[in-house]
Structure 1
């Protein structure tokens, strides 16, 4: 009996010991990745998912509240010995709460204390690895989004790069949006406290330059990749301070847009929108909505109140998300003139290899489905470019004749969509995205002076979103804005009932590999089907040329596959392949030469 009691006692003791040591043992087996910045005495604790290590919610600037609201970011300085818990994502910058799209995150957690970034790297990366770095600038019209959105999950990209033997480190940044990021007024301009969102981006890129080596990155091999306004902002970073301070990155991929023909860059419209919100929250006294008293009041208003009023005002004026209500404007400091004027004066950071791009139906979701008249076609972008003359509007209608779009109507599939809708969508695509990419890259090469091998273009003609558009009742959107993002991230499990079939995954791998190659050696190499090299966009750019007469574009996906198409100004009759014929149908030479010409640029204020 005594022996049995002794045995039970031993068993209980062993069980208690096992329970006591189980958690530490599990923690040991699943040890969290740790980065030690020995120079600053800071330790970062991350988390691991499969073969990728994640470090999230790392602040690069102090909380921009009180007197720091609207002002340039203040670099954060942690005390020696600090341990940073980087295991979970943090707050998004102030914006509207709720759902955006079926394949994006639901916005639930917002705060002014949002100036953070996230880092992902291959498992086991050593401090001395010197890996190239990708820095992601998210889109969202300067009104919504975050580097932590599920659409931008970096695991696929990081894993693909490691599989290719070309590992990289990924960084995504948050920056201030809406009123908080782009408020402007006479007082703010005088104080040089404007374009805070752009200054946030630059501060984050400078944090990467100064800190990424501790994570195994090479601060001298940083590629900025941005989509939509993230792309446009990369261009503005190249134009910042008239190019006098260089760029905080060594390469760039500009997905959908450049800083050419974009929003009116004069500050009046945004200043009026800032004043509108100031009046709504009771901050305007004595009819002076531009002075120091109004600014002081706006800095004292609770951020929740300011967010609610500014989001409501922007969405009412620019439905559904409020894009184009607050955005970058000329402040004679960060942005010293209209972007197109700065480009033509050669006032930009030079020598940066660039890839610029657009997707085939880029303008689709900016056009109301009811569009059916000439006036409605022009009105589809009239809110953003209200000062276009009647002559300019008439010329645009002539450059996009209605008969060019009749063949695009699919009544049985799309419903009662007019060819006028397709006309407006193509016009919006070119005004906002295609012609801006062509204009920016052409001017970047011409006024660089640059090496033609440093500038490349692509058009993406495939999407995983077709089932989503069908469920939303907008099947006519086709290869719409955002379509190339999941292919870049090599995302095999996109949310929202998207098409994650094998052909889509194959193209994602091919496209991701191409960008990874560019990140590693500034050369995107062969096209995805091996048919030929991804050629520079322009063979030459002589100072006497007003516009290019030949351009090479890498096509990705679509019915004609992935290949390089080279078209010339007068070569449409010589088009041999279906891909060439399709690109000539876009009439890029005549349309973009006018859209980027002096008359429309001046009227648009770009």
Structure 2
């Protein structure tokens, strides 16, 4: 059963008008014929979209907390793929109130949510065999939907890159988040039903392999990409079954996300939270019968279980319930701690990768009230509770207070920036360099984004101190800075960045190299492969261009990343 949402407020309402417009749907819907099944889509802004294509069966009732089963349309079905499907269960309305306008409102949820979308240039033929870019959304394993066109509108990526001679097919896979996607318990282990949300993604990739050629894509030229925990999803798909998974994709782009090692997969957090929420829902067995507890949980109405899960998540993490539930290792899908899978080469090493972070990815994840060395130390100790005292001391020495500056115009102390840099390096920058260094030197491309379309908006709200913060990459990658509200604040530099970043992503998906189709209006230039982790490409800002780690780029990354890569630090923080 689907559940509808309440209305929510708008972002930047003082200065911006929020008026998303679409061209009228063509009188004749585009049609894709896939064997005996036909899909009717819509036309908008020069692209064709096919929405709410089911790939998995309903996950409600007795199927709750179970790994997904494939769905097949009956022979002769004509699928109306013109309207968005439901999001998987999560909070209704604005998922992150403090980020209103970044994400769209969630208006409908359902456990029958395993669907995907496909977008292509108007008039694409089935014989085109275009590269396919498959998006795995982020949202801290708390929220997200492929139908959120505020955050993930693919029309610019598809339309503008076709005009550059880099046509691609875009697809995106819905998957279960939170409690319903990542619950963990001994009973679920015995059922082999851990990490259902990751298996949803895997099943969606299997559907793409089997059906995307009907839409004009090539099953042999698939790139998966994701931002935030979409980064985590991509790396876990690389590590699936210890690197022995089916070759469902051929390239991978990992944007601005926490390493799966750093999300506490082996720490038992999802087990602990599953037990606590089971008690809140009055399903705890007095005899410890886990099977009986699952039977109770599967019998509850969605509205009851979702309300309790959302409230529980916000009590754990106040921004949006981020990371309350997360993938678990070991499991059949993730057979060991991700740090061990990486260090022992048990992941797909035949995949070319493009990987990177935003210059100030950490600023939204630490309190802006940090104003002293003691406060800094307390926050870092809380963020990394497993670190030994000697390693905490070393960490403080690697990020000395005098290496950072206050931001007096907005009342921000330098210790805030120390903490933010620790988070960025530990969870975003150093894991990116560590993964890149494990691949052949010519197979990985690393970047650091140093530009943001949010700059003027942050200035209006006296939040310039957050800098090039988390999610700054997405309006550029999907090339929607010309949409409201961004069009009201975007500079020419933002339009140029969108053209180049989107173009380089499409070039990488097409040729395995982000500058393969270079000219001044299509992609970036001067982007060497990482060379075992020695080089990266700074995108935008005063240092735009290729840079060696530790020299032009600075920031003491070699020493700091060496610390985060020590075996004892990995064991104490990442597992």
How does the TM-score come out when normalised to structure 2?
A: 0.91
CA distance in 1, matches of 2:203, 2:368: 40
3-state secondary structure, aligned to 1:262: helix
Which residue of the partner structure matches residue 72 of structure 2? 77
Q: Which runs of 5+ in 1 are unaligned?
A: 1-26, 446-450, 541-547, 573-579
3-state secondary structure, aligned to 1:456: strand
Residues 471-520 of structure 1, C-alpha deviations (whole Å, 9 max, x = no match): 55532111000001111111133444562232211111011111111111
3-state secondary structure, aligned to 2:262: coil
Which residue of the partner structure matches residue 542 of structure 2? 559
- Kindly report which structure 2 residues correspond to 1:112-127, keeping only aligned pairs within 5 A, or say none: 112-127=111-126
Deviation at 1:247, TM superposition (A): 3.9
Deviation at 1:246, TM superposition (A): 4.1
C-alpha spacing 1:202/1:380, structure 2 compared with 1 (3 Å): farther
- Kindly report which structure 2 residues correspond to 1:90-239, keeping only aligned pairs within 5 A, or say none: 90-99=85-94, 100=96, 101=99, 102-149=101-148, 150-239=150-239
- Kindly report which structure 2 residues correspond to 1:44-443, keeping only aligned pairs within 5 A, or say none: 44-99=39-94, 100=96, 101=99, 102-149=101-148, 150-257=150-257, 259=259, 261-266=261-266, 268-286=268-286, 288=288, 291-380=290-379, 385-406=384-405, 409-412=406-409, 415-443=410-438
Which residue of the partner structure matches residue 474 of structure 1? 463
Q: Which runs of 5+ in 2 are unaligned?
A: 1-23
**2:39–2:78 Cα contact (<8 Å) kept:** yes
Residues 404-455 of structure 1, C-alpha deviations (whole Å, 9 max, x = no match): 112xx2312xx21110001011111111111111112212x1xxxxx32111
**1:377–1:423 Cα contact (<8 Å) kept:** yes
Deviation at 1:170, TM superposition (A): 0.3
Residues 189-230 of structure 1, C-alpha deviations (whole Å, 9 max, x = no match): 121101111111111111111110110110000000110100
Which residue of the partner structure matches residue 34 of structure 1? 31
C-alpha spacing 1:196/1:29, structure 2 compared with 1 (3 Å): closer
CA distance in 1, matches of 2:401, 2:114: 47
CA distance in 2, matches of 1:292, 1:353: 43
Which residue of the partner structure matches residue 447 of structure 2? 458
CA distance in 1, matches of 2:459, 2:109: 31
CA distance in 2, matches of 1:306, 1:383: 30
Segment of structure 1 superposing worse, 397-406 or 366-375: 366-375
C-alpha spacing 1:514/1:432, structure 2 compared with 1 (3 Å): same
3-state secondary structure, aligned to 1:35: strand
CA distance in 1, matches of 2:25, 2:447: 47
**1:227–1:255 Cα contact (<8 Å) kept:** yes
Residues 104-137 of structure 1, C-alpha deviations (whole Å, 9 max, x = no match): 2012211111111111001111111101100011
**1:510–1:528 Cα contact (<8 Å) kept:** no
Which residue of the partner structure matches residue 572 of structure 2? 603
Deviation at 1:374, TM superposition (A): 3.5
CA distance in 2, matches of 1:465, 1:145: 21
C-alpha spacing 1:379/1:225, structure 2 compared with 1 (3 Å): farther
Deviation at 1:375, TM superposition (A): 4.4
Segment of structure 1 superposing worse, 240-249 or 417-426: 240-249
For these two proteins, the number of residue pairs brought into alignment is: 543
C-alpha spacing 1:434/1:167, structure 2 compared with 1 (3 Å): same
C-alpha spacing 1:341/1:172, structure 2 compared with 1 (3 Å): same
**1:189–1:331 Cα contact (<8 Å) kept:** no
- Paired residue for 2:493, among 503, 512, 528? 503
**2:87–2:109 Cα contact (<8 Å) kept:** yes
**1:266–1:338 Cα contact (<8 Å) kept:** yes
C-alpha spacing 1:588/1:76, structure 2 compared with 1 (3 Å): same
Which residue of the partner structure matches residue 16 of structure 1? none
**2:549–2:557 Cα contact (<8 Å) kept:** no
Deviation at 1:383, TM superposition (A): 5.2
**1:70–1:183 Cα contact (<8 Å) kept:** yes
**1:133–1:171 Cα contact (<8 Å) kept:** yes
Which structure's CA Rg is the greater one? 1
CA distance in 2, matches of 1:292, 1:260: 29
Which residue of the partner structure matches residue 543 of structure 1? none
Segment of structure 1 superposing worse, 191-200 or 470-479: 470-479
CA distance in 2, matches of 1:531, 1:157: 15
3-state secondary structure, aligned to 1:44: strand
**1:525–1:533 Cα contact (<8 Å) kept:** yes
CA distance in 1, matches of 2:272, 2:328: 12
- Paired residue for 2:529, among 529, 532, 536? 536
CA distance in 1, matches of 2:535, 2:25: 54
Deviation at 1:28, TM superposition (A): 12
Which residue of the partner structure matches residue 557 of structure 2? 588
- Paired residue for 2:513, among 519, 523, 531? 523
**2:175–2:201 Cα contact (<8 Å) kept:** yes
**1:370–1:421 Cα contact (<8 Å) kept:** yes
**2:477–2:501 Cα contact (<8 Å) kept:** yes
